[in-house]
Chains A and B, each alone.
Chain A
Amino acid sequence: MIDLVAEGCAGAARWFDVIETETSHTRVSFKNNTLYSITSREQSGVGIRVNVEGRTGFSYTNDKARAIDAARRAVECAAFGEEEDLELPSSAEGIFNPYDTGIEGFSLSSEIAGIEEAVASIKNRFPSATVDADSSCTTGRTRILNSRGLDASYQSSIYRISISATIVMEDGSRVDVWDGFSTPAPASIQHLPEAVITQLGNALTVRKIPSGAVPVLFTPKAVARLIGILTAPLSASSVWRGISPFTGRIEERIFNPAFTLRDDPVLADSPFSYPFDDEGVTAKTKDLVACGTLQRFITDLRHAARLGISAEGNGGRNYYSLPSPSFSNVVIVEGREPCSSLMAGISRGILVDQFIGLGQSNTLQGDFSANLDLAYLIENGTVIGRVKDCMIAGNLFSLLAGEVVFSAERERRGSVTAPYILFPSVDLIG
């Protein structure tokens, strides 16, 4: 590969790097309580970034045999590209494979049987529910090569499962709930139907709550979505573009001292971990916010050079795109109190799990405004039903700077590991 690319560059390149990816994916889909389809997908591709006389060009192909043509195209594109000079890594250290051999045990028949059992147990409790489910196994290989001699690769594996259930009432109103997880290898799904059943049970009774400011407890699943509003301006590209409200505020205490947010590329048992990023930079664990104080921004090589900061493994890309700063595993550090005692302290408030329309406000400033797809009314510390047809609105940055409590439990939801978070006063419009 490296020879092909070098040949395509025909000596024109000041430097170049290559990303090669291969993935193989198998998925079982259930719709409407029954097996719908089995899907198999194989994808691969090569992306080539070339710097010619200080300017960067990029091209890609998903036909590896034609990598030499892609290299030639990248050289042509460089004439129009950005003027920059990057310090490419010459080696990657501490390489591990975020790959679990257990993934090789993924079997269509046992997945189908497991999901059928889960469907049956949900239907047994709620006969009118319709259940959908997806279970998949993805294995892949990522390889980074560059003109400084780096040639490093790793294998990865992800098992994903999600089960959702819907009950439609006579008036067309509906309850949609889901649960699921992603791990490096297939794991027991036995707890999922129970989680879905509990959510359905809690959501069937609809309660009213008048408009006003109320205590709001976000589940880790909800936090995983909400935190995207904060992680975007913690990216070096937002800083470089002059649109991060946190620019120039390193070492300033911006948030509540109980708040620590980390990027952890080596988090155990997470399929989103990696030994080096998509530019070959060795990945390190780093606090973005430590005890409320801003520590750093995540960056790729380009923005590291632009801002004069160091790259620590956050250059993310597909084979068909240039790198950009991206998080690995986002970790929000847990607090001391168990969730049960946070709940117990709420005389009247809501527990929020799923949103509709989150992230469509002016999120650059931290604003959010969303309909509550799935939320529950808490009275005297107990969930007593669902609240719906209402919205919550606020500013996440102000909320995290004010009074906030993090639960002792935390859950990984996709690439975000978070506790339950309680804000004592958020505006609710009902």
Chain B
Amino acid sequence: MHDNPRGGQIAQAVNEARGVLNAAACDFAEIRLFAGISNTITLSGSHIESFSVGESIGGSIRVLRDSAWGFISFNDISQLRKRFSRALDIASAAPSRERHAVANMPAGRASFETIMARNLETVSPAEKLECLQSYNAILRSSQSIATTRATYHDTAGRYAYLNSEGTEYTYDRAYCGISLSAIARDGSRIQPFSDSVSGYGGFEIAMNREDMAERVVRTAVDLLSAESLGGGIYRVVADQKLTGVFIHEAFGHLSEADFVFENPRLREIMVLGKKFGPDNLNVIDCGTLKDCAGYIPFDDEGVLPGETRLISNGCLSGRLHSRETALKMGEEPTGNARAVGVTHQPIVRMTNTYIDNGDRSFDEILDAASDGVYACGVIGGETNLEMFTFTAACGYEIKGGRIGKIYRDIVLSGNVFTTLTRILMIGDDRRMFGGLGGCGKAGQSPLPVSFGGPHILIDGVMIGGNL
């Protein structure tokens, strides 16, 4: 167990929560509690923009009473009994026309703990600052760099989850990461580039990232003289990171069952077994990958995650569920009900989502692309569940299967129902990516997730740009 100064307060609240839930007069109830400490350091250029340490404590209660949900959240975790009756009152104030219910799960009891090679609490503030300063010095090493932003963030605390089924989980969680950004400038041309890494673990996650800092500064400077790619329809090779964001936006969100069960027509379209892509396309969401930012030992409804195969051999084979969507669709919960913090309600979210390896080498893919664009890295992505965008941090011309000149950021766009069928080749070199950012949905952002895949070749991708 980590040395959590608020651990005692959580332990006391857990005792009270247990008593409250044992006596709960409702269909289902859960109590979530968290207390922790965060450290954040931000450097910009030659300045220390902020050096802060702060603490957060809070909790929430969600009850299902007479088929209606009530949810309350708070900072003060000392009066759970009183708050529980308030949550029941709120649920009663919601005369639901639709009957909400959840899939029941067997009770579980366990304690989880992040393994830290270098315990965050034993690393001095001075060492955290020095480490970040060393990366910032690399970011500033080119004369073309106008400014930088280097951020270090860690948070360590205890999370407790209890429900009326008797489940009781505690998780001593430590999360750490850095984000490095350099902005190159030449007269009126201003060119940013950034990268980030994060995960559950100790200070080791932030250490030895000199390579990342060097890559960031080099790419920002290279892009300064890069041209923009003109708008049009292109054959695109996506690198592993962009493949990850592609599958997150192009299919991951569509797999979230709350989107599906809400709409009768989408339920008809999203039937299991439906062909979505080529025979060698396999898409997986897996919350148990400990090295990835989307790792969870249990979800925020107390369900243990597993590997969910979303697409197998090109066909729809599964989807991501909360307890409620699973019951509604007659499927099993998958452990994908997640909240951005204890004061938010769990909703269906991804964890670590990826396209599994195919059997092509990167060289074979470039050969097959012949003429096109090699799109690399990620700025972001967004979907409306039909159309989606995914933005590459930079790109390269491919001519006759060979990589040529560099292009600046590229916004790519596709359609969730057709773009997957245009995947022509899948590589054998999958990697996973995370970072201090995360995924946003229904006002809850950023939720730590990871994404990845091998290099892939996609035909007919729309790219926005000047004509």
Q: Chain A: residues with CB nearer than 8 A to chain B?
A: 28, 31-32, 34-45, 47, 57-63, 66, 70, 73-74, 76-77, 80-82, 108-109, 112, 128, 130, 132, 166, 168-174, 176, 211-213, 241-243, 245, 320-322, 356-357, 360-362, 364-365, 367, 369-371, 373, 388-394, 427, 429
Taking CB atoms, residues of chain B closer than 8 Å to A36 are 69, 100
Q: In B35-94, which residues have CB < 8 Å from any A CB?
A: 41, 44-45, 47-58, 68-76, 86, 90-91, 93-94
B94 touching A59, Cβ below 8 Å:
no
Chain B minimum-CB-distance residue to A109 = B93
Question: Given the interface contacts A42-B74, A211-B231, does A356 sit within 8 Å of B69 by beta carbon?
Answer: no
Q: List 12 A-B pairs, Cβ < 8 Å.
A: A37-B71, A38-B93, A41-B72, A62-B57, A80-B126, A82-B47, A242-B45, A245-B190, A362-B191, A370-B411, A373-B387, A389-B415
B467 touching A213, Cβ below 8 Å:
yes
B345: contacting residue among A37, A322, A390, CB under 8 A? A37
Chain A minimum-CB-distance residue to B37 = A73
Judge whether B408 is part of the interface by a CB distance below 8 angstroms: yes
Docked pose: A28 CA to B68 CA in angstroms: 12
Taking CB atoms, residues of chain A closer than 8 Å to B53 are 59, 73, 76-77
Docked pose: A356 CA to B69 CA in angstroms: 32
A427 touching B466, Cβ below 8 Å:
yes
Judge whether B188 is part of the interface by a CB distance below 8 angstroms: yes
A38 touching B343, Cβ below 8 Å:
no
B462 touching A429, Cβ below 8 Å:
yes
Taking CB atoms, residues of chain A closer than 8 Å to B73 are 39-43
Taking CB atoms, residues of chain A closer than 8 Å to B465 are 369, 393, 427, 429
Chain A minimum-CB-distance residue to B98 = A34
Instruction: Kindly supply a per-residue 1/0 record for chain B positions 255-277, scoring 1 wherever the CB is within 8 Å of any chain A CB and 0 otherwise.
Output: 00010011101100100000000
CB distance from A402 to the nearest CB of B (A): 14
Taking CB atoms, residues of chain B closer than 8 Å to A245 are 188, 190
Docked pose: A402 CA to B146 CA in angstroms: 28
Q: In B378-420, which residues have CB < 8 Å from any A CB?
A: 379-391, 408-409, 411, 413, 415-417
CB distance from B446 to the nearest CB of A (A): 15
Report which residue of A241, A357, A364 has the largest number of chain B beta carbons within 10 angstroms of its beta carbon. Answer: A357
B52 touching A58, Cβ below 8 Å:
yes
A356 touching B467, Cβ below 8 Å:
no
Taking CB atoms, residues of chain A closer than 8 Å to B343 are 41, 43
Report which residue of A40, A57, A80 has the largest number of chain B beta carbons within 10 angstroms of its beta carbon. Answer: A40
A39 touching B191, Cβ below 8 Å:
no
Docked pose: A59 CA to B55 CA in angstroms: 8
Taking CB atoms, residues of chain A closer than 8 Å to B45 are 241-242
B147 touching A243, Cβ below 8 Å:
yes
Chain A minimum-CB-distance residue to B70 = A38
CB distance from A359 to the nearest CB of B (A): 8
Docked pose: A176 CA to B382 CA in angstroms: 14
Taking CB atoms, residues of chain A closer than 8 Å to B383 are 356
Taking CB atoms, residues of chain B closer than 8 Å to A58 are 50-52
Taking CB atoms, residues of chain B closer than 8 Å to A61 are 54-56
Question: Given the interface contacts A58-B50, A77-B125, does A429 sit within 8 Å of B74 by beta carbon?
Answer: no
Docked pose: A73 CA to B38 CA in angstroms: 12
Docked pose: A102 CA to B75 CA in angstroms: 27
Chain B minimum-CB-distance residue to A233 = B190
Report which residue of B54, B98, B146, B383 has the largest number of chain A beta carbons within 10 angstroms of its beta carbon. Answer: B54
Taking CB atoms, residues of chain B closer than 8 Å to A76 are 53, 125
Docked pose: A357 CA to B385 CA in angstroms: 13
Docked pose: A394 CA to B465 CA in angstroms: 7
B52 touching A57, Cβ below 8 Å:
yes
Docked pose: A34 CA to B466 CA in angstroms: 44
B75: contacting residue among A43, A60, A82, A429, CB under 8 A? A43
Docked pose: A170 CA to B264 CA in angstroms: 11
B462 touching A362, Cβ below 8 Å:
no
A356 touching B52, Cβ below 8 Å:
no
Docked pose: A360 CA to B413 CA in angstroms: 12
Docked pose: A108 CA to B94 CA in angstroms: 8
Docked pose: A364 CA to B409 CA in angstroms: 12
Taking CB atoms, residues of chain B closer than 8 Å to A77 are 51-53, 125
B466 touching A394, Cβ below 8 Å:
yes
Docked pose: A23 CA to B74 CA in angstroms: 10
B411 touching A174, Cβ below 8 Å:
no
B192 touching A81, Cβ below 8 Å:
no
A388 touching B387, Cβ below 8 Å:
yes
Judge whether B464 is part of the interface by a CB distance below 8 angstroms: yes
B75 touching A38, Cβ below 8 Å:
no
A171 touching B417, Cβ below 8 Å:
yes
A174: contacting residue among B41, B56, B386, CB under 8 A? B386
CB distance from A56 to the nearest CB of B (A): 8
Taking CB atoms, residues of chain B closer than 8 Å to A130 are 262-263
Chain A minimum-CB-distance residue to B52 = A58
Chain A minimum-CB-distance residue to B391 = A360
CB distance from B414 to the nearest CB of A (A): 9
Judge whether B96 is part of the interface by a CB distance below 8 angstroms: yes
Other than A38-B90, A58-B52, A76-B53, give 9 A-B pairs with Cβ distance below 8 A.
Answer: A35-B68, A37-B345, A39-B71, A44-B75, A61-B54, A241-B183, A362-B409, A364-B183, A370-B464
Question: Given the interface contacts A43-B343, A45-B75, does A392 sit within 8 Å of B464 by beta carbon?
Answer: yes
Question: Given the interface contacts A362-B191, A429-B464, does A80 sit within 8 Å of B129 by beta carbon?
Answer: yes
Taking CB atoms, residues of chain A closer than 8 Å to B382 are 356-357, 360
A241 touching B94, Cβ below 8 Å:
no
CB distance from A401 to the nearest CB of B (A): 13
Judge whether B18 is part of the interface by a CB distance below 8 angstroms: no
A172 touching B52, Cβ below 8 Å:
no
Taking CB atoms, residues of chain A closer than 8 Å to B265 are 128, 168-170
Docked pose: A39 CA to B228 CA in angstroms: 46
Report which residue of B45, B57, B258, B384 has the largest number of chain A beta carbons within 10 angstroms of its beta carbon. Answer: B384
B96 touching A35, Cβ below 8 Å:
yes
Judge whether B185 is part of the interface by a CB distance below 8 angstroms: yes
Docked pose: A187 CA to B54 CA in angstroms: 38
Docked pose: A112 CA to B96 CA in angstroms: 10
Question: Given the interface contacts A35-B94, A38-B69, A241-B146, does A59 sit within 8 Å of B54 by beta carbon?
Answer: yes
7 interchain residue pairs of minimum CB distance? A357-B389, A369-B464, A391-B464, A60-B54, A37-B69, A429-B231, A360-B391
A172 touching B269, Cβ below 8 Å:
yes
Chain B minimum-CB-distance residue to A429 = B231
Question: Given the interface contacts A38-B70, A245-B190, A356-B383, does A32 sit within 8 Å of B464 by beta carbon?
Answer: no
Taking CB atoms, residues of chain A closer than 8 Å to B464 are 369-371, 391-393, 429
Instruction: Kindly supply a per-residue 1/0 record for chain B positions 218-234, scoring 1 wherever the CB is within 8 Å of any chain A CB and 0 otherwise.
Output: 00000000001001100
CB distance from B101 to the nearest CB of A (A): 13
Report which residue of A74, A370, A391 has the largest number of chain B beta carbons within 10 angstroms of its beta carbon. Answer: A391
Chain A minimum-CB-distance residue to B42 = A322
Docked pose: A177 CA to B269 CA in angstroms: 21
Taking CB atoms, residues of chain A closer than 8 Å to B379 are 360-361
Chain B minimum-CB-distance residue to A391 = B464
A322: contacting residue among B52, B94, B416, CB under 8 A? B52
Chain B minimum-CB-distance residue to A237 = B44
Taking CB atoms, residues of chain B closer than 8 Å to A57 are 51-52
Taking CB atoms, residues of chain B closer than 8 Å to A31 are 258, 262
CB distance from A43 to the nearest CB of B (A): 6
Taking CB atoms, residues of chain A closer than 8 Å to B467 are 211-213, 427, 429
A66 touching B380, Cβ below 8 Å:
no
Instruction: Kindly supply a per-residue 1/0 record for chain B positions 186-227, scoring 1 wherever the CB is within 8 Å of any chain A CB and 0 otherwise.
Output: 001111100000000000000000000000000000000000
B97 touching A174, Cβ below 8 Å:
no
Report which residue of B56, B126, B381, B388 has the largest number of chain A beta carbons within 10 angstroms of its beta carbon. Answer: B56
